[in-house]
Amino acid sequence: MSDRIFRLLERHQKLDDALRRAQRRRWADPFEVARLKKLKLAIKDRLARLAAPRRRLSA
């Protein structure tokens, strides 16, 4: 596993923990929850792009 993928996975996990904490609060801020979800999804998309086989462009 590359260092870049490891750092993205680590950040994804930290965002997941922060999201769970934010949702558990009595008065959860819906904008904060949405922001964390959006960041988490962006990292998931980056990981998917890194894991996908690269296609060669034909000339």
What residues does each domain of the chain span? Answer: 3-50
Does residue 52 register a pLDDT over 70?
yes
Summarised one tens digit per residue, pLDDT across range 15-32 is 999 999 999 999 999 999
Does residue 59 register a pLDDT over 80?
no
25 Rama class: left (phi>0) / alpha (psi -120 to 50) / beta: beta
Average pLDDT, the chain: 91
Long-range contacts of 7-12 (CB under 8 A, 24+ apart): 8/43, 8/46, 8/47, 8/50, 9/47, 11/43, 12/40, 12/43, 12/44, 12/47
Summarised one tens digit per residue, pLDDT across range 41-50 is 999 999 999 9
The neighbour count for residue 36, using CB atoms within 10 Å, is 20
